[in-house]
Amino acid sequence: MSKLEYRFSFTEYDSIDELDPEDAWLLGEARDITKSAYAPYSQFLVGAVAKLANGEIIAGTNQENASYPVGLCAERALLASAATVYPNVPINTIAISYQTIGSNGNHPISPCGMCRQALQEFEERTNQSIRLILGGLEGKIFIIDQASQLLPLAFTGKELKK
Ligand SMILES: [Zn+2]
């Protein structure tokens, strides 16, 4: 028997002012795009903006539905769009922000489990890590160097090979 350990570390910043200009710009775009979210049921507006390896910028927002499970998270809206418009182009960084109607998000949120799975496979298929910048409209910011670090022992396509 052996006991194994998984280590995870990330960086916390007190505010957007501590980020380098390119990261601050991307988070600013994610904050802005939260306004485009369609979230009449949760009133939880999420925006995600990616800088691709080819320099292009792609955004996604959450898109809810009266049939709740039909709703799509901002992260997966973004990944689908990026892979459609620029197939096989890796993503360097995704900034994710949010607000709830009536109040500003003031702490970082991180991707849900389903989005972690989608991010992990996107990294694998493009053979490149995705950095995440997580922050509300104000407050602390987390930077995670590799999205798949959020999903230890991930289930992957390798398991499906005979
Ligand atoms: Zn999600």
Residue by residue, what is the 3-state secondary structure of 58-85? Answer: EEEECECCCCHHHCECHHHHHHHHHHHH
Residue 88 has pLDDT above 80, yes or no: yes
Measuring CA to CA, which residue among 61, 138, 125 is closest to residue 94?
A: 61
Query: Is residue 75 flagged as an active site residue?
Result: yes
Cα 76 to ligand 1 centroid, rounded to whole Å: 7
Q: Are strands 44-52 and 91-100 parallel, antiparallel or unpaired?
A: antiparallel
Cα 137 to ligand 1 centroid, rounded to whole Å: 18
Cα 74 to ligand 1 centroid, rounded to whole Å: 7
> What average pLDDT score do residues 84-111 get?
94
Question: For residue 161, what pLDDT is reported?
Answer: 86
Tens of pLDDT, residues 52-64: 999 999 999 999 9
Residue 154 has pLDDT above 90, yes or no: yes
Q: Residue 162 — very low, low, confident or very high, per pLDDT cuts 50/70/90?
A: confident
The residues, any chain, with a CB within 8 Å of residue 154's CB and separated by 6 or more, are 116, 117, 120, 148
Selected catalytic residue, list 5, 22, 56, 75:
75
Residue 55: which region, alpha, beta or left (left: phi > 0; alpha: psi -120 to 50)? Answer: left
Contact, 24 vs 95, CB < 8 A? no
Contact, 29 vs 61, CB < 8 A? no
Cα 73 to ligand 1 centroid, rounded to whole Å: 5
pTM over 0.85: yes
